[in-house]
Copies of this chain bind each other. A is one copy, B any other.
Amino acid sequence: MAGYEAWLAYRPIADADRRAKIVAWTEAISADEDDLCIRTAAAELAQGLTRLTGRTPSCRTQAPGSASSTAAGSAASISAAASASAGRSVRLGTFEGSADVRESFSEAERASVAEEGFRIRADERSLVIAGTTGKGVLYGAFHFLRLVQTGTPLDGLDVLHNPANGLRMIDQWDNIDGSIERGYAGRSIFYRDNEITEDMTRIRDYARLLASVGLNAIAINNVNVHRLETMFLTEAYLPRIARIADEFRAFGVRLFLSVNFAAPFEIGGLPTADPLDEGVQAWWRATARAVYDGIPDFGGFLVKADSEFRPGPFTYGRDHADGANMLADALAPHGGIVIWRCFVYNCKQDWRDRKTDRARAAYDHFVPLDGRFRDNVMLQIKNGPMDFQVREPVSPLFGAIPDTNVAIEFQVTQEYTGQQRHLCYLVPQWKEALDFDTHARGEGSEVKRIADGSLFDRKLGGFAAVSNIGDDANWTGHPLAQANLYGYGRLAWDTDLSSEAIAEEWVKLTYGSDERVVETIRGMLMDSWPIYESYNAPLGIGWMVKPNHHFGPDVDGYEYSMWGTYHFADNRGIGVDRTVRSGTGYAGQYRQPNAGRFESLADTPDELVLFFHHVPYAHVLHSGKTVIQHIYDAHFEGVEGAEALLAKWDSLAGLIGEADHAAARSRLQEQIRHAEEWRDVINTYFLRKSGITDLHNRTIY
């Protein structure tokens, strides 16, 4: 069940034959190296196998700081005394640290394993989980447990997995008061009452969840860095942050901090935060040193600057490159990086101004700066040009800055996609962005190849995403929302995994392998994004949400607003003309043939037509429907879809733990009521505005 243990519950394997086979392969666990991550891996294996098979493997690991020996395992959760086993053992290790492991592979095989990759091979006498580094071994251990649970035969097993992305990061938008910006699963597990927590239990368990899906970095505070969080860079806070870093380190996760660009001014006692000021530079250098004194593997700084009223280099007449490079220079001696967010747009925008287009902003700001950023700077670009809407085109900034390191940013927390009260499995949405071909270097220039750095041969690349967890008992509020965190990690590791495969894995690990359960829940997950989209904003227009909290329908909520995003609906039509010919010119930010496709009303896919074009309500879509009839139909279908989700879930009664079933059920019921609300508000709005009645004469209020 999708409870506190999430996908790491290690449900006992029911099939006795299969259980016996696994026991035969795993009578002992041995690891010869003094490596934190390898000890974690051994402990996880011991724990997992014990729970899966009912039998505890014997275990031999290295105590911290000890030379190679056969002493009792040091990991606390390993209860069995170490002993040489009669059966076959699982051997963990790196090629460099373990001769035994090294000799199990050819030189070419060893060379095929990337820094954080792993290779698992079953030979006559043992099963080897090998990596270039301890982190790789840890990911291999988790993967091995996944294979065991998803029914993969162990005989003849030989798999190699390298992560697609170097950076696989999760961002906590947690505030020191314990609140979480855009959090929908309780309060922060990191902070409480304006203090950093000293209780490491949930932090450790969260680190384990992250590592289990291959995530290797975390920023532990909100990108909107307020007064107390700005102080995190000082001695008052660093010891506790280092304590948290210790927990993450054991799971191979590097800790980052979001920083306030104005910190030298706000807490440093300097008269300026100008990035070209020598005093400011010295302050950041000293600050970086202090951070690395306590956290030797500190990841670096995450920065939101000159965006939504956050301070930044603009105050001093400098640009983003000046700002980012100054921080990068402070971090470089220690191996740290700067992650600089591209979610930047002109705050002074006025809804009366129909020329300015927020969708253009990231491209307009950053393309001129391409090539000016240091090697240890990454620009973090949201998947779409707006802000995590249910449907957006891909940001045209991907592919437009070949001489800059980039990371793609997703939102695991469901800010605009149902806030973990609605079911919305987001992996298919992310896949769509990743598979988008930018044509930046001709055909085959998919976004995923830009994000991972390979297309432009960049040193750094990767994924970042806003976390969806809080201190709710099950981490994510909606039990099925765990699938988004799981899927994000798996996708960051392997962008070629299909949405269905990830969903299936997650269901098996979480709810077991009963075929009806797997098929039903996988189907629910796969249906959920289209269902959510259909009762939300139509045809790519986005933003039909209540302002500020972004839950529930409000068609004009952002229509007459400084932060506005606009649909421009009037009594004749709707949509934003973003063409070069007659609109904001945004379509021209793409490379060909995409630019031409979006420029043309005929060629723009239906799901994005209102993002790129202003059309009459009677405009006929590729689907054969008019825009207005599409709006009506989609919203009726959306409610039916929500009802179908509940019916499917109800068909699993008895096959799912009762409490878990009830918890998801109440959310699915709420989703139906709320989908009805969406349907009725949006349809009524457009009926009133257009005066065009529904072809099927359904009730619109």
Residues of A within 8 A of B (CB): 351-352, 354, 546-547, 553-557, 560, 568-572, 680-681, 684-685, 687-691, 701
What are 8 A-to-B residue pairs whose CB atoms are below 8 Å? Answer: A351-B701, A352-B701, A553-B560, A556-B556, A560-B685, A569-B688, A571-B689, A689-B689
Give every chain B residue within 8 A of A690 (Cβ-Cβ): 571
Q: Once the chains bind, are A571 and B354 in contact (CB under 8 Å)? A: no
CA distance A170 to B447 in the complex (A): 64
> How many angstroms between the C-alpha atoms of A544 and B247 in the bound complex?
52
Closest 7 CB pairs of A and B: A570-B688, A560-B681, A571-B691, A571-B571, A556-B556, A352-B701, A352-B680
Contact of A684 with B554 at beta-carbon distance under 8 Å, contacts A571-B691, A689-B570 already known:
no
A556: chain B residues at CB < 8 Å are: 554-556, 685
Q: How far is the CA of A568 from the CA of B684 in the complex (A)?
A: 10
A569-B688, A571-B688, A571-B690 are known contacts; what are 16 more A-B pairs with Cβ within 8 Å?
A352-B680, A352-B701, A354-B701, A553-B560, A555-B556, A556-B685, A560-B681, A560-B685, A568-B688, A570-B687, A570-B688, A570-B689, A571-B571, A571-B691, A688-B689, A689-B689
Q: Whole-angstrom distance between the alpha carbons of A547 and B560 in the complex?
A: 14
Residues of B near A553 (CB, < 8 A) are 560
Contact B352 A560 (CB under 8 A): no
Give the residue name and chain of the B residue nearest to A699 (CB): B352
Within the assembled complex, what's the spacing in Å between the Cα atoms of A557 and B557? 7
Specify which chain B residues have a CB less than 8 angstroms from the CB of A681 in the assembled complex. 560
A554 touches which of B352, B354, B560 (Cβ 8 Å): B560
In the complex, what distance in Å separates the CA atom of A681 from the CA atom of B553?
19
CB distance from A200 to the nearest CB of B (A): 31
Once bound together, how far apart are the Cα atoms of A367 and B557, in whole Å?
A: 38
Please, which residues of chain B bring their CB within 8 A of the CB of A557? 554, 557
Q: Which residues of B contact A685 (CB under 8 A)?
A: 556, 560
Q: Which residues from chain B contact A691 at a C-beta distance below 8 Å?
A: 570-572
A581–B351 alpha-carbon span in the complex (Å): 42
Chain B residues, CB < 8 A from A684: 560
Bound-state Cα–Cα, A571 to B560, Å: 19
Min CB gap A153→B, angstroms = 56
- Find chain B residues with CB under 8 A from A352 CB: 680, 701
Instruction: With both chains docked as a complex, state the minimum distance between the C-beta of A616 and any C-beta of chain B, in angstroms.
Output: 12
- Please, which residue of chain B has its CB at the minimum distance from the CB of A681? B560
Which residue of B is nearest A546, CB measured?
Answer: B547
Identify the interface centre among A354, A553, A571, A701: most chain B CB within 10 Å of its CB.
A571
Interface centre among A354, A553, A557, A570 (most CB of B within 10 A): A570
* CA of A685 to CA of B687, assembled, Å: 15
Residues of chain B within 8 A (CB-CB) of A554 are 556-557, 560
Q: A677 to B427, alpha carbons, bound, how many Å?
A: 41
CA distance A691 to B290 in the complex (A): 64
- A554 CA to B351 CA in the complex, in Å? 13
Report Cα–Cα, A690/B572, bound state, in Å.
10
Give the chain B neighbours of A569 by CB distance below 8 A: 688
Write the chain B residue with the least CB distance to A555. Answer: B556
A556, A680, A681, A689 pick with most chain B CB within 10 angstroms:
A556
Collect the chain B residues with CB atoms within 8 Å of residue A351's CB.
701
CB-defined contacts of A701 to chain B, threshold 8 Å: 351-352, 354
Once the chains are docked, how many angstroms separate the CA of A554 from the CA of B546? Answer: 12
User: Nearest Cβ in chain B — how far from A688, in angstroms?
Assistant: 4
Which residues of chain B have C-beta atoms less than 8 A from A546's C-beta?
Answer: 547
Which residues does chain B contribute within 8 Å of A571, judged by CB atoms?
A: 571, 688-691
The complex places the Cα of A560 from the Cα of B570 at a distance, in Å, of 18
Give the distance to chain B from A404, nearest Cβ to Cβ, in Å: 37
Q: Which residues of the partner chain B approach A680 to less than 8 Å between Cβ atoms?
A: 352, 560
Contacting residues, chain B, for A555 (C-beta < 8 A): 556
The residue in chain B whose Cβ has the minimal distance to the Cβ of A352 is B701
Complex-state Cα separation, A393 to B374, whole angstroms:
67
What separation, in Å, do the CA atoms of A688 and B352 have in the docked complex? Answer: 14
CA distance A570 to B684 in the complex (A): 9
Shortest beta-carbon distance, A681 to chain B, in Å? Answer: 4
How far, in whole Å, are A691 and B572 apart by their CA atoms in the complex? Answer: 8
Residue of B nearest to A560 (CB): B681
CA distance A380 to B404 in the complex (A): 67
A210 to chain B, nearest CB (A): 37
CA gap between A687 and B571 in the complex, in Å: 9
Report the nearest B residue to A687, measured CB to CB: B570
Complexed CA–CA distance, A680 and B547 (Å): 19
User: Please, which residues of chain B bring their CB within 8 A of the CB of A688?
Assistant: 568-571, 689
Taking CB as reference atom, which chain B residue is nearest A572?
B691
Most buried by B among A352, A560, A568: A560
Interchain CA distance A553-B561 in the complex, whole Å: 10
Complex CA gap A351/B557 in Å reads 17
- Complex-state Cα separation, A676 to B668, whole angstroms: 44
